[in-house]
Amino acid sequence: MSKDSISNSVIRRLPRYYRFLGELEHNGYVRISSRELSEKMGLTASQIRQDFNCFGEFGQQGYGYNVSDLRLEIGKILGLDKQTPMILLGAGNLGKAIASHIDFHNKGFDLIGAFDVNPDIIGKEIGELKVRSTDELSTFCTENKPIAAILCVPMNAAEKLANTLIECGIKAFWNFTHYDLKVTHKGIAVENVHLGDSLTTLSYGLNNLESSESK
């Protein structure tokens, strides 16, 4: 199956598979069947087999899946065996939290630079990085060749900044702005993150739960 034909829903389940298999490996599991994995993850065994078959044959009839090998293969599919250089734009409260607490190394990235326009933030350290002025962005990208960027900037600055970053060689964006980044350049990956949307979805779930209990 070609990569272009794999649905986004399948791709979004891969990190969850990877996480669950890591927990199983940590707990001493050597092998697991699709049925056992489905029971732990709340999916159907058929769905799991179909998802894995999009990328190849990983299990054996009558044996199931080797937990360690399957996790390794999914990690390769996700690109976690690489260390893609990444930069952060916007080193305020959110950017600082992301830079300090996300385990980039085990997620396939290497955070190599942080930038901001605020003179009160420039020069300070977040994680192991010293915040640079965005005036240094072009020179830094030329010298260090980052491939991905985290956007933690105001919404009205996101599109212009993204275009600048693309010109500097950035090919992927982890976008925390409130702007749904729509780039027209080919070969660019964008993952929009809306924390507020997640919270309002929780609100719906809570209210729906209360409605069900009142019936």
**Do 174 and 152 touch, CB atoms closer than 8 A?**
no
Q: Which amino acid is at 31?
A: R
Distance between CA atoms of residues 20 and 25, nearest Å = 9
Considering only CA atoms, which of 95, 92, 139, 98 is closest in space to residue 120? Answer: 92
> Which helix (H) or strand (E) covers residue 62, if one does?
none
Known binding residues are 90-95
Structure tokens at 75: 């990690």
Annotated binding site for NAD(+): 90-95
Tell how far CA 15 is from the center of its chain: 8
Residue that has been written with the tokens 């729906």 in this structure: 208
- The owner of tokens 């390769």 is 76
Place of tokens 């409130």: 178
User: What gap in Å lies between CA 151 and CA 160, rounded to an integer?
Assistant: 12
